[in-house]
Structure formats: structure tokens, C-alpha cells
């Protein structure tokens, strides 16, 4: 628990604000953010890339050679496989507000139970994708920029849109 707090302290005070890995400025930002990830995350594989301004839960498992994109936000439990590319401004949500009763304001109804998100291996997630609770994205998928993924996507599919729909198979 202490290592998570130390990692979070370094990440949120220094590393998060350093330039993106693709910027012309090299000050060790990739290595520092990787170190913070190893301290903070449930699992952090080798060769990972956590980009500038990424926010994430300690419940995230990040596979080998995978990345969290610039300004990405991952709330709650999320398993990300190996070799996953993530664009900028990706949001992963693992729970929603309750809205069962019309007699009680939604703000006072609390939250649904967390539904973990699973992202397979060798997945490419485009910029500004939103992934909703309980979704599984299979191995080898490509999710088009701006998509809202409301349902699971089987392996080796190209999917895009709002809501996200399968456009074609890669195999």
C-alpha cells in the first residue's frame, strides 16, 4: 500500500505533467511514468508507455508493451492485454449512476456495482473512444476514433461508431 502512495505522489506531482513521449523534449518522462505505473498499478508489464495526463485506478492491469494514451482516463477495474495501442482522450468507465427510481434524484441513488472492462492483446483503440462498463474487446480488434463501445467486441474485428458496431473482420 505504501508503494502505491509513493508512486501516486511522484506520478501526480511530477510525472503526469511531463511532456508526451513523442514530443521533441526528452527528460526521462517515459521511464519515470513507467516506474510510477509499476508502483501504482495492480499489474504493470515490461515496456509500457503511460502518456502525459493519463489518470488511472490502481485496479488497472497493463500488459507488456501496452500504453495509456495522452489524457486517458480509466476508472475502476480494467485489464489491458499486451501490445495495446491507445489514442488520446480514451475513457474507460466501469460503473454508472443508479437511476432505478424516479422518486429519488439520481444524484442520491448511488452507483451500480462495478463491471470490469477487459481489453485483449494487440488491440488498437483510436482517439476519444469511450468504453462502457462490462465491455470486453477481443484480441486483435481495432476500435475507430470517437466510438462509444456499449457492447463487447469479438476478436479480430474492426468496429466504430456511436454506438460502436462491427464494420469488418480482420481474419
Quickly state the pLDDT bin for 85 (edges 50, 70, 90): very high
Cα–Cα distance, 130 to 160 (Å, whole number): 11
Q: What is the pLDDT of residues 3-58, one digit of tens each?
A: 999 999 999 999 999 999 999 898 899 999 999 999 999 999 999 999 999 999 99
Cα–Cα distance, 170 to 157 (Å, whole number): 6
The average pLDDT across 163-171 equals 96
Residue 129: φ, ψ to 5°: -85, 140
Q: What is the pLDDT of residues 105-144, one digit of tens each?
A: 999 999 999 999 999 999 999 999 999 999 999 999 999 9
Catalytic annotation, residues: 97
Q: What is the pTM of this model?
A: 0.94
All three cell numbers of 68, joined, read 495509456
State the pLDDT at residue 31.
95
State the pLDDT at residue 1.
81
Q: Longest C-alpha distance within the chain, in Å?
A: 55
Cα–Cα distance, 47 to 127 (Å, whole number): 21
Cα–Cα distance, 165 to 158 (Å, whole number): 9
Q: For 42-169, give the CATH class.
A: mainly beta
Q: Please, what sign has the CA dihedral across residues 87, 158, 149, 47?
A: negative
Choose among 80, 86, 88, 40: nearest CA to 64.
Answer: 80
Q: Where are the domains of the chain?
A: 42-169
Residues 6+ apart with CB under 8 A from 12: none
Q: For the CA atoms of the chain, what is the radius of gyration?
A: 17
Amino acid at each position: 500500500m505504501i508503494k502505491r502512495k509513493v508512486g501516486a505522489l511522484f506520478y501526480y506531482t511530477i510525472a503526469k505533467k511531463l511532456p508526451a513521449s513523442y514530443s521533441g523534449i526528452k527528460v526521462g518522462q517515459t521511464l519515470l511514468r513507467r516506474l510510477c505505473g509499476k508502483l501504482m498499478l495492480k499489474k504493470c508489464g515490461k515496456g509500457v508507455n503511460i502518456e502525459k495526463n493519463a489518470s488511472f485506478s490502481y485496479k488497472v492491469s497493463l500488459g507488456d508493451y501496452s500504453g495509456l494514451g495522452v489524457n486517458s482516463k480509466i476508472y475502476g477495474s480494467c485489464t489491458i492485454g499486451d501490445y495495446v495501442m491507445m489514442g488520446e482522450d480514451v475513457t474507460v468507465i466501469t460503473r454508472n449512476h443508479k437511476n432505478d427510481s424516479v422518486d429519488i434524484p439520481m444524484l442520491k441513488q448511488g452507483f451500480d456495482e462495478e463491471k470490469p472492462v477487459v481489453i485483449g492483446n494487440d488491440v488498437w483503440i483510436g482517439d476519444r473512444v469511450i468504453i462502457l462498463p462490462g465491455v470486453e474487446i477481443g484480441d486483435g480488434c481495432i476500435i475507430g476514433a470517437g466510438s462509444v463501445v456499449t457492447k463487447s467486441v469479438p476478436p479480430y474485428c474492426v468496429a466504430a461508431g456511436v454506438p460502436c458496431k462491427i464494420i469488418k473482420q480482420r481474419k
